[in-house]
Amino acid sequence: MPQAKRPIIGEIEAALRSGAPDKRIKILMNVTDLFVAGAADYGELDVALFDDVFGQLFAHVESAALAELSARLAPLPNAPAATVGALARRDAAAIAGPVLAQSARLSDGDLIEIARSKSQAHLAHIARRPRINEPVTEALVEHGDAEVASEVAGNAGARLSNLTMAKLVMRADGDERLTDVISQRGDIPPALLRRLMLQATAAVRAKLLAAAKPDQKATISRVLNEISALAAAPAPRDFAQAQRIVSVFSQDTELTRARILEFADTERIAEMIAALSVLSDVPPEHIDRLVHAADPFGLMVLCRSVDLMWNTAHAVIMARPQAQPVEGDLREQFKQLSVQSAQKLVHFWVGRQMVVRKFPQAAAK
């Protein structure tokens, strides 16, 4: 035990017995000063003993003192691990934030657990870490709101799997801010940059081209040329007749899935869309947009969200106008994507489309 720490133990015990908050806070600050000053020289046993001392004080001091403790321990590579873990799991983001954003003592498992269970403010702090591994970014994108998604996309130290990047691109549909942030990443694959451009508005495309890095300008210009050659999106359609046909069997989920395959194979697109709408609770006009999109990723996600088998999802994708052969990556992503994750992604996407439709100016926010 560090020699300078021995008299502190007696002070801690006296402070806890006295019940005086100011004494407890003073002791906590003294112990914190002691640890920070000698952290570079402490071994594992010393750090573990400090962990015990902090643990005794934790439940007896106010939030402001714990927030200061979190801020001072956050940058230290050998900060007491149990103390850091306890601070990171506090419901108050002001306390958890500093260690979530900086501490190397938190494992990927810790960060994923917190991302799944705590507030969006907690997730935003995690998204600002200097380095974030793929499993953590996956959890942040799955559970985070638009602010968290933008923080992740804008963090050059965040490593993104191809699937997680694809999820961000889908979420960027109708979100100019997220579109802009993703486009500036140096690791975005050309295929996903193309997808990002295809779903952007003309004004956003022009802005992205003007701000693009030299190595991206050629890709963006090529995509813009492709877009100009694409057929215009179909006018809004009336799905009333298709919905009446589907309503006959819509209470039978398995039969509905089977009929989707039949409709796709026979190119009865309106009925296929109506049946997908029944299973997903997504308005037909939004599904129609996915069906007519130049890229099939969004439609694949929708199929996964209603737990279709790959052969049915493949048939739906191939029923799209001017559909191209499905690449192996799309099938692999379908297998990697859980039904629950797909449902959340569809929920985010539909919510954004509804906001943009009602408030077009929201796309720029």
Residues 244 and 360 in one domain: yes
What whole-number distance in Å separates Cα of residue 75 and Cα of residue 40?
12
Q: Please determine, for residue 230, whether its predicted confidence score (pLDDT) is greater than 70.
A: no
Mean pLDDT of 155-172: 97
pLDDT of residue 200: 87
> 358 and 248: one domain?
yes
pLDDT tier at 4 (50, 70, 90 boundaries)? very low
In a domain, 118, yes or no: no
Report yes or no on whether pTM surpasses 0.85: yes
Average pLDDT for 338-361: 88
Final residue belonging to a domain, choices 229, 260, 282: 229
Judgement on whether residues 12 and 57 belong to the same structural domain of the protein: yes
Residues 187 and 225 occupy one common structural domain: yes
pLDDT digits (tens, 9 = 90+) for 26-73: 888 888 998 999 999 999 998 998 898 898 888 778 889 999 999 999
CA dist list (Å): 365 to 18, 142, 146, 286: 53, 20, 10, 21
State both tokens at 354. Answer: 């509804």
Q: String of b and e for 182-219 (b: at least 16 CB within 10 Å)? A: bbebeebeebbbbbbbbbbeeebbebbbeebeeebeeb
What average pLDDT does range 253-266 have in this prediction?
97
Is residue 112 domain-resident?
no
Q: Is residue 166 in a domain?
A: yes
Does 79 reside within a domain?
Answer: yes
Which residues are bridge partners to 158 per DSSP? Answer: 132
Select from 63, 85, 106 the last residue of a domain. 106
Within-domain flag for 52 = yes
Give the range of the structural domain holding residue 193, as residue numbers without chain letter: 162-229
Taken in order 226, 197, 341, 104, the sign of the CA dihedral is positive
Residue in this structure with the two tokens 């802009």, named with its chain if needed: 180
Of 229, 260, 286, which marks where a domain is finished?
229
User: Quick one: pLDDT at residue 102?
Assistant: 98
How far is it, in rounded angstroms, from Cα 222 to Cα 245? Answer: 42
Domain count for the chain: 3
pLDDT tens by residue, 182-220:
998 989 998 898 889 888 888 888 888 888 778 777 777
